[in-house]
Amino acid sequence: MTHAYLEHITATLEQIAADGMMKRERVITSPQGGQISVGPREVINLCANNYLGLADHPELIAAAKDAMDPRGFGMASVRFICGTQDLHRELEQKLAAFLGMEESILFAACFDANGGLFEPLLGPEDAVVSDALNHASIIDGIRLCKAKRYRYATSDMADLEGQLQLAREEGARFILIATDGVFSMDGYLAKLPEIKALAAKYDAMVMVDDCHATGFMGPKGAGTPAHAGVAVDILTGTLGKALGGAIGGYIAGPQVVIDLLRQRARPYLFSNSLPPSIVAAGIRALELVEQGDDLRARLFENTAYWRAGLEALGFDLLLGEHPIVPVMLGEAQLAQDMAARLFDEGVYVSGFFFPVVPRGQARIRTQMNAALTREELDRALAAFKTAGTACGVI
């Protein structure tokens, strides 16, 4: 690389740091859990997607280990060449049944699933109507397809109807509405009953990314459609959050849709298949989730207790029912300072700021976990009181 180019990159990094937006990684030296080790320190972890506390569950660890001797370490191949084991098909079939779909297909991550979804299914004669706050992976996936793009303000049903009407007036052959089931920065749930009603009115289909819902929202943890009591056309999701927290994504939907994705979804065709250990642990995670009413109850009890405690201290929270509880701070540097002070107090959180959230809406996104104890939550609330006072937030 040229010296001038490296100087340009260096200046960009220096500006990111000067704006208080530099992301810095702390190195964890323990399994993921409600308490984790960061170097010599033990801290309470309030920012993992480990909603049901399964990331260090002994049965998932055992399932992963037990798969390695008979099935090997890795597949060293994509699925259609020689990368499909019976375990992959077993997990896909179990996921489909769990989600109430005909079939599912595995990807390395849900980012890949969303990235590979739209281009095989939609052409230039078609339209995608996307929520403005959709995850980056949905946005990128839509950019890769040739369908015409429409965007509606988040959860604004009047705007959604206007975009659907416009797409119909402009001659769209097929229309797909794309939305997160849960908007991960805010913890807000998509208005799926209203979206479904508008889809029916304008003969459109509905796709939902359910990464922050699968495993704990709705009956048996089947996700936001089950929570809302509706059926959608396509569901995408992850094994990397409530379902054990490792890696792996999926698309679930009608058999013929999944069959076409196996033929044409580029991240599926050109990426190694998931390792046997991950797939075996995913199968066991699904079994634990289906039996996990107690874990879901504890998760939402913790959520209610945590939200009430923060409100009593005077923090500015976004309203909601989801285990994502954002503490609004406004400025990026304040979010960084607050997170650093909380770490000093024994609580691990991360500041979220532009470009992850809009400028002026920096926050600390706290996330509840079924494995957290009431004593740990009380310690964390005390830490928030100390840090919030020191930083001038409360």
> Looking at 184, 273, 277, 350, which residue is catalytic?
184
Q: Is 322 a catalytic residue?
A: no
What is the C-alpha to C-alpha distance for residues 63 and 128, in angstroms, rounded to an integer?
40
> Looking at 88, 196, 212, 385, which residue is catalytic?
212
Structural contact between residues 206 and 228, judged by C-beta atoms closer than 8 angstroms: no
The contacts of residue 41 (CB under 8 Å, 6+ apart) are 346
> Looking at 57, 148, 241, 322, which residue is catalytic?
241
What is the C-alpha to C-alpha distance for residues 271 and 283, in angstroms, rounded to an integer?
21
Pairing of strands 182-183, 188-189: antiparallel
Q: Is 241 a catalytic residue?
A: yes
The contacts of residue 318 (CB under 8 Å, 6+ apart) are 186, 187, 188, 325, 326, 328
- Report how far apart, in Å, the C-alpha atoms of 97 and of each of 68, 90, 109, 380 are: 26, 11, 20, 39
Closest alpha carbon to 248 in 237, 260, 264: 237
Three-state secondary-structure class, residue 175: strand
Structural contact between residues 354 and 12, judged by C-beta atoms closer than 8 angstroms: no
Q: Distance of alpha carbon 216 from its chain centroid, rounded?
A: 13
Q: Is 212 a catalytic residue?
A: yes
Three-state secondary-structure class, residue 53: coil
The contacts of residue 55 (CB under 8 Å, 6+ apart) are 31, 32, 33, 48, 244, 245, 246
- Catalytic residue positions, numbered: 184, 212, 241
